[in-house]
Structure 1
């Protein structure tokens, strides 16, 4: 389970919340409600206090920052049984799905040369924001998606417009991949695969060797794509909420 803890911590580093407060090895995160990952307590490791007390701190932190109390819990981890015993339940109504896969794979397996219409840069284009979040991103969206030590914004352009987008963040030797999106009228043209190949090359150039992706279990199209690129399921996590929230 130790490698799971390390991977989850790196994924959290790659997805910076507006507020990220440690509670022992847990991380209390808030970002004005933008994404479950940035607005839930990462429960890997030891919180340093009994789990019921830690969950009470999660509830207090959530109230302080105007978000719903939620816990990001690795399936099968020691914290899972303790969270359930404390009266919390799986958030089956979570917009992105209650359960997600964390998939990993070697970058060299799908890295491809750059081409004129596929680019990864350190500055997001306006069209990137439109696909990855919204045309006029909020402060929280800008913080989560555009901050961090090494972030790349991948785009595919056609006719001067962004038709596909992705975000990559390098943490050590890990490339965290997120917000892969293709405009509806440009799907089934292989753009996601080409974009992923360019992002892999970008990551390799910056010292990454492995990629990690967090994808909802119901997103079969994305899971199929990532498997075809050589990625496999590493573990799963679920969001839990208090019965009183």
Structure 2
């Protein structure tokens, strides 16, 4: 069970990838209590087609169709050595945060995105951050998130350049594989990741208690 002031779905949901050690309805009730105690929306992060999905549906929960990022997301993975080119520089720039997290950056943003072995990679033009991405390494896995390009600079290959440089950084940290999440409706991003050699590993959705 995870809570981080409501910033990002993953950091504010109950992950359901293992046996909770008690009946599913009781486990979900604990998740609701946890969410209330931390002042966040009650949601469960559920792998599509997993043994837990049907049990959660049987308990009366429903897919959160109002989730800001969309109801369904893909997790994609790929070998870093296949697309690494250059090495990203880790720079904690104000422009990085403005582009990826908005104008009001809080301690919660910094905790969620800045904890662990991370890289804040960016590209600049005339002192302005025009593209940014975050990478975090855990053991041999590079997790990629917050990839963003300013609308005025899209379709110039900047996202590809950043991903290649971040992969190079990940290799230097001992990672071999990247993993990332992308909304199923974001076809442009999916194509980008496929061109880099990433493939779909699984999909997940957020579930919530049924609204009475």
Inter-partner Cα distance in structure 1 for 2:61 and 2:160? 39
Inter-partner Cα distance in structure 2 for 1:162 and 1:136? 17
Structure 2 match to 1:146: 114
Provide TM-score, normalisation by structure 1: 0.85
**Given the alignment, which residue of 198, 203, 209 partners 1:231?**
198
Inter-partner Cα distance in structure 2 for 1:181 and 1:85? 38
Where structure 1 has 5 or more consecutive residues not aligned to the other structure, the ranges are: 1-27
Give SS of 2:74's match. strand
Structure 2 match to 1:76: 49
Alpha-carbon distance, 1:139 to partner: 1.5
Deviations 1:185-215 (A, max 9, x none): 1111100000000000000000000000111
Alpha-carbon distance, 1:244 to partner: 3.9
Cα root mean square deviation, aligned: 1.0
Inter-partner Cα distance in structure 2 for 1:152 and 1:178? 10
Inter-partner Cα distance in structure 1 for 2:206 and 2:89? 32
The question of whether the paired residues in 2 share the 8 Å contact of 1:155 and 1:165 is answered with: yes
**Given the alignment, which residue of 58, 63, 68 partners 1:85?**
58
Residues 47-86 of structure 1: pairs in structure 2 closer than 5 A: 47-86=20-59
**Given the alignment, which residue of 113, 119, 127 partners 1:160?**
127
Inter-partner Cα distance in structure 2 for 1:228 and 1:244? 41
Where structure 2 has 5 or more consecutive residues not aligned to the other structure, the ranges are: none
Inter-partner Cα distance in structure 2 for 1:187 and 1:46? 43
**Quick check: 1:45 aligned with 2:18?**
yes
Give SS of 2:73's match. strand
The question of whether the paired residues in 2 share the 8 Å contact of 1:127 and 1:135 is answered with: no
**Given the alignment, which residue of 83, 93, 96 partners 1:128?**
96
Give SS of 2:85's match. coil
Give SS of 1:221's match. helix
Alpha-carbon distance, 1:120 to partner: 2.5
Residues 194-205 of structure 1: pairs in structure 2 closer than 5 A: 194-205=161-172
**Given the alignment, which residue of 76, 84, 103 partners 1:103?**
76
**Given the alignment, which residue of 183, 189, 202 partners 1:222?**
189
Alpha-carbon distance, 1:136 to partner: 3.5
Runs of 4+ in 1 over 2 A off after TM superposition: none
Alpha-carbon distance, 1:140 to partner: 1.1
**Given the alignment, which residue of 155, 158, 163 partners 1:188?**
155
User: What count of residue pairs does the alignment treat as equivalent?
Assistant: 212
**Quick check: 1:171 aligned with 2:121?**
no
Provide TM-score, normalisation by structure 2: 0.98
